[in-house]
């Protein structure tokens, strides 16, 4: 995989900014990348092309190739730039508030840039910012007693919950997904679909009506996070209890090998 992604690795991790020869250029890799992000934010990832970016910048398409080899490498740069710096780890508040803050920040990123969902699927190279997000989430779980594999799995589960909500919001989009929360988009779409169809979907109609009546809608992100965290906490407690339990048949306080 890395051989096929050599261009992305060079741009993401090699720090290449401008051609080494010739006069000081008017373009920059950052300017090209941010123009591409603006296009994707407005019209989706499919709208991004080297020709379109060149037109937006009033340069020729060939000028862009002096900075970035092609769209694959450009998308890699777009992802890492759009992700931005990860939130600083929260200290002294416990792992749940720290991981919740991380999750809410990541949800906001997908909310601002819906094109990140398809862009971050499949084999690819992660950049410094994206890897920093993983580092930040793992740091939140530092004192939980989970081993490395379990911490990574926990981050994958939380990330999956966030992505699922964002994807559903996009697929059921009513209006602009950047103007409302994913839960608001889903609620509006469900209400619209259920008009005149309550007999066919009585359970769904009742659930939506109940959520609206007690103002408990628009909480899918928080609800899911809390249930995931409850599961992790229960797992941690079981492990602690198992390790603290004396061996079967052993007297409390007895030393192994005593006569």
What band does 136 get if pLDDT is binned at 50, 70 and 90?
very high
Question: For the chain, what percent of residues have pLDDT higher than 70?
Answer: 81
Q: What is the pLDDT of residues 181-219, one digit of tens each?
A: 556 667 777 888 999 998 999 999 998 888 777 765 567
- Is the confidence at residue 24, as pLDDT, over 70? no
Check if CATH label 1.10.357.10 holds for domain 85-244.
yes
- CA contacts within 13 A on the Cβ side of 169: 29
DSSP 121: S
d(Cα 116, Cα 124) in Å, to the nearest integer?
13
What band does 180 get if pLDDT is binned at 50, 70 and 90?
low
Domain 6-82, CATH homologous superfamily name and number: Homeodomain-like (1.10.10.60)
- Is the confidence at residue 25, as pLDDT, over 80? no
- Indicate the pTM of the whole model: 0.80
- Is the confidence at residue 117, as pLDDT, over 60? yes
Nearest Cα neighbor of 77 from 95, 53, 94, 101 is: 53
Q: Rounded mean pLDDT of 151-166?
A: 95
For the chain, domain boundaries: 6-82, 85-244
> pLDDT at position 244, please?
72
């Amino acid at each position: 995989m890395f051989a096929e992604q050599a261009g992305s690795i060079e741009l993401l991790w090699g720090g290449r900014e401008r051609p080494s020869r010739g006069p000081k250029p008017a373009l920059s890799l950052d300017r090209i990348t941010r123009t591409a992000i603006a296009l994707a934010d407005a019209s989706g990832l499919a709208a991004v092309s080297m020709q379109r970016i060149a037109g937006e910048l009033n340069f020729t398409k060939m000028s862009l190739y002096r900075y970035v080899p092609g769209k694959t490498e450009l998308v890699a740069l777009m992802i890492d730039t759009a992700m931005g710096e990860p939130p600083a780890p929260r200290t002294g508040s416990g792992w749940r508030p720290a991981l919740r803050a991380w999750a809410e920040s990541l949800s906001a990123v997908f909310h601002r840039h819906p094109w990140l969902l398809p862009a971050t699927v499949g084999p690819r190279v992660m950049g410094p910012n994206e890897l920093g997000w993983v580092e930040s989430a793992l740091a939140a779980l530092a004192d939980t007693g989970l081993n490395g594999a379990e911490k990574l799995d926990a981050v994958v589960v939380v990330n999956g919950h966030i992505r699922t909500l964002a994807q559903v919001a996009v697929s059921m989009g009513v209006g602009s997904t950047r103007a409302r929360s994913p839960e608001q988009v889903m609620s509006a779409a469900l209400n619209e679909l259920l008009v005149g169809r309550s007999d066919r979907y009585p359970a769904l109609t009742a659930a939506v009506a109940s959520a609206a009546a007690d103002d408990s809608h628009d909480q899918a992100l928080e609800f899911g996070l809390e249930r995931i965290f409850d599961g992790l906490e229960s797992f941690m407690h079981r492990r602690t209890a198992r390790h603290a339990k004396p061996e079967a048949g052993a007297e409390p306080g007895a030393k192994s090998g005593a006569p």
